[in-house]
Amino acid sequence: MRKFLILDLSFYLLDVLNVYDVVAFSLLLDHIATFFIWIFFFFHWPPMKLSVPVFYTYWTLICVDK
């Protein structure tokens, strides 16, 4: 009985870790996308230069909220 319980718990932990991996990976992709958007705004839209950090922070908060 105890062996089965330990196996069950280890599978449960693996499931939880996999979920966290997926979330971390999607956040990483979001940050990479944000970086390219940031560069695009910085180089292609001069009036945007001052508000880019604000935009970046806002976007990062949205990503973290997901």
Could you list the mean pLDDT of each consecutive 10-residue stretch along the chain, which spans 66 residues? 54 60 66 70 57 60 55
Cα-based distances in Å from 62 to 24, 31, 58: 14, 11, 6
Q: What pLDDT does residue 66 have?
A: 47
Q: Alpha-carbon distance 43 to 33, whole Å?
A: 16
Distance of CA 23 to the CA centre of its chain: 6
Q: What pLDDT does residue 32 have?
A: 72
Q: What pLDDT does residue 33 have?
A: 72
